[in-house]
Chains A and B, each alone.
Chain A
Amino acid sequence: MVWLSSRWKIAIMAAPALIVFTALIVYPVIYSAGYSLTDFAGFGDPAFVGLKNYIDLGNDPFFWSSLRNTIIILVVSLVILVPGSFGLALLLRRRFPGGGALRALVFAPVIIAPILVGLIWVFILDPKIGLLDRLFGALGLPQPEWIGGNVLTPYSVALVFVWGSVGFAMTIFYAGLQQLPTDILEASSLDGASGWKQLLYITVPLMKESFAIATVLLITNVFKIFELVFVLTNGGPVHRSETLVSYMYFITFNNQQYGSGMALAVIITVLGAVVSLGYLLLLRGRKSA
């Protein structure tokens, strides 16, 4: 290998990706962080205003409501998704006719473009034309405003996110279940461990890593939810259903308050980085274990 590792050969191999990565990922992050300290509005020279944009965001009720919505979506979808997709993986692990096809079908929503997922769910959740309120009406139940009202939208976004992610999480759990040492499971069932006991005391602890990976990936994906809100409510009414990302998009590209938009983008990035760091630490723990 030494023969082939002259300086210019290494440079030719490594430079293109390093240059593109630096110009399109690293430089923009620095650029955004810089602009978050200015009052830039698209014209003229940006004036340095220090932390004013961050302080203004702290006083902006819509920032707090979009943070609250993001947290609601996060909690609701994790509470449903983690046990739900684990249970589904347990079901689909059993051998029965068509099991493989079901696994593929459950994964299908994962590959659908988020923007199309949103549109599909308009026709389920919309108070006028949606399937859900029609069903509720036929059953004589109240017909709440799933989207567009003041209360339920973040919960509905969580539901749609669950729909789009359940196949992904299930596949992670399924892969984990395939790697379980079968001898431990057999030994425990010979010892008379009943199904539930085995699940609770042996399978779940052995799957700790899959639970951690699925949870962290779902958290980072929740922080990226944008298209769903964009299509379902466009953040309305009056920003009540906005998430952090959709509100950032609005401030930046609709209001053209680039300074405060970038301040919010920096906040989102820091939140995401904290989670990703947790993920990396977790992987390191796994490798040394």
Chain B
Amino acid sequence: MSAPTSPLGRRSRRRTGGIVAAIAAYLITFLILLPILWIVLLSFQSSEKILSNPLDLGSLSLLNYVHTVTSLPLAQMYGNTILLAVVSVTIGTAISFMVSFALTRMIFRRRRVQSGLRFYILAGLAVPVYILLFPVYRLDLALGVFGSYAALIIPYVGVSIPFNTLLLTGFLRDLPTEIEEAAIIDGAGLTRLIWSVVLPVMRPVIATVLIFNVVYVFNEFPFASILINNPDMTTVSLAVSQFQGQYSVDYGGMMAAATLVLLPQLVIYAIFQKQVIAGMTMGAVKG
């Protein structure tokens, strides 16, 4: 039991507590952002300044960016990554939706087969990509796609299936079937049922799936490092992994290049912030 406090005293204590908490929250957020601010600052300094006095705000210049924009194939990196993301995420989401629909809505002769197949796919959540790297490399060679975009698209599609199926079957299971039944009675076929009844109500979960997968492909490094051998096909992550070798002691140039990769990501994140956070944490919270 704490000593009784007057309502006024309690309120003012709560208010100062609130101010302390707000200051603490701002301070911690600043500390978390500090590394990002640091590399942005360094990107405006010459390499000599970075070694001697990086905080000298008088010597900031855009010179690093001028060099970097000409030395870094930004358009190509982004073009390749966007191409991989669009194709693999479209295929991955489409086939994951199809199997999720079959596993939750269609009627199997044997119920056991249906739940067994769902469990079979969800078991893939426990497989780390690292055990797949070498076999997929061999598979790409055997299929004759090594060295093409398909070499990466195929594993990206495969890896996305378990998580997509987890989210999509979870959503479909909670979705009431009455509207679909009404549509079937009205004579809708399978294609019409999916396009005009099921997919429209699934928009939020499909947005989540798309965002999660696009972020995955943009950040993916292990597969890209093994399956890309042509510099013209470099992805954003792969290009970043070569910065240290490429720029060596040109620290300013390296930081400008890093900033040019980081900022577009942060801007897109700022625009879709709510959906991105939902997309990245949905699987965790939903289970």
User: A-side interface residues toward B, CB under 8 Å?
Assistant: 1-5, 7, 9-10, 12-14, 16-18, 20-21, 23-29, 31-32, 35, 88, 91-92, 94-99, 102, 104-116, 119-124, 128-129, 131, 134, 163, 166-168, 171-172, 175, 192, 194-195, 213-214, 217, 223-224, 226-227, 230-231, 245, 248-249, 252-253, 258, 261-262, 265-266, 268-269, 272-273, 276-277, 283, 286
Contacts and interface: CB of A to CB of B under 8 A. Distances in A.
Contact of B155 (A24, A106, A124): A24
Contacts of B102: 10, 13-14
Nearest to B242: A115
Contact of B266 (A99, A108, A119, A273): A108
A122 B253 CA distance: 15
Given A17-B161, A105-B29, A120-B35, A113 B240 contact: yes
A129 B51 contact: yes
Contacts of B158: 20-21, 23-25
Interface string B109-134: 10000000100110011111111111
B256 interface: no
Given A32-B135, A115-B240, A10 B29 contact: no
A92 B190 CA distance: 47
A194 B221 contact: no
B107 A223 contact: no
Interface of B: 1-2, 17-19, 21-22, 24-26, 28-29, 32-33, 35-36, 38-39, 42, 50-51, 54, 95-96, 98-99, 101-103, 105-109, 117, 120-121, 124-136, 138-139, 154-155, 157-159, 161-162, 165, 177, 180-181, 184, 189-190, 193, 215, 218-219, 221-222, 226, 236-237, 240-241, 243-244, 251, 254-255, 258, 261-262, 265-266, 269-270, 273, 276-277, 280-281, 284-285, 287
Which of B129, B184, B287: most chain A CB closer than 10 A?
Answer: B287
11 contacts: A1-B177, A13-B102, A21-B162, A25-B127, A88-B25, A105-B29, A107-B273, A119-B243, A119-B258, A128-B51, A231-B244
Contacts of B96: 17
Given A4-B184, A92-B25, A107-B277, 15 more contacts: A1-B177, A5-B107, A13-B98, A13-B106, A25-B124, A25-B127, A129-B50, A171-B280, A213-B284, A214-B284, A224-B128, A224-B129, A266-B131, A272-B126, A272-B128
A277 B161 contact: no
Contacts of A116: 237, 240, 258, 261-262
A21 B124 CA distance: 8
B176 to A, nearest CB: 13
Q: Is the interface of B mostly helix, strand, loop or mixed?
A: helix
A14 to B, nearest CB: 4
A253 B237 CA distance: 18
Contacts of A2: 107
Contacts of B39: 120, 123
A113 B98 contact: no
A265 B155 CA distance: 17
Contact of B22 (A94, A163, A286): A94
B33 A18 contact: no
Given A168-B280, A171-B277, A28 B2 contact: no
